[in-house]
Amino acid sequence: MKDISFKNSDNFKDLEGFTKLILAFNKKKYSLFKEIANREGWDQIYVNDIRYDLIRMAIMEFHISKGFFTISDITGITDLNVRSIERFLKKLVVAGYFEKRSSKNDKRVVEYFATDKSLLMLKIYLNLLKEGAGLFNVSSEETANLGNMPAEDLKKYLDWSKEIK
């Protein structure tokens, strides 16, 4: 194997296709979030800071897996402090993406439940999944297998997510 160094610019030529794929995917992701942010009036910090993207993905995962999330579910995923996360959640509640309720088991715990408006986030991530599969040349069957679901079910969700409103 040749010495890997930036001094020999041809060392990384074989990675060019990979870097182009990653760049194309991230451009698509940014443009989708920017479009929604402009339409929905989101603060740019929540679009441009990847930590909020991780929190949004975790929120979707918790909604799908257990039907709600708590602030303790999402703290520790990033290095954002609790106040920043609370401020983000407050904006999402005010905008109508989530309902905030006291837990039935422990009144000190607040649970956040998705509203139909938050389906927008799921549609964005499904669009990104489809875009990524296309960029990386992964078939819909292979993509469905990655998510442990039948290809027909994935197609149904992808068709549903085409129109982002």
Q: Using a cut of 0.75, tell me whether the model's pTM lies above it.
A: yes
| Inter-residue contact 26 to 19 (CB < 8 Å) | no
Q: Is the pLDDT of residue 128 over 70?
A: yes
- Contacting residues for 141 by C-beta, under 8 A, at least 6 apart: 151
Per-residue pLDDT band at 9 (split at 50, 70, 90): low
Q: Is the pLDDT of residue 1 over 60?
A: no
Beta bridge partners of 102: 110
- Please count the helices (runs of H) and the strands (runs of E) in the chain: 8, 3
What structural domains does the chain harbor?
15-42+118-165 (no CATH), 49-114 (1.10.10.10)
On the 0-12 / 13-18 / 19+ scale of CB atoms within 10 A, 33 is: buried
Name the token pair of 66. Answer: 């257990």
Tell me the torsion sign for CA atoms 134, 139, 140, 143.
negative
Give the Cα separation of 143 and 154 in Å (integer): 8
Neighbours of 132 (CB within 10 A): 17
* pLDDT, tens only, 60-92: 899 989 999 999 999 999 999 999 999 999 999
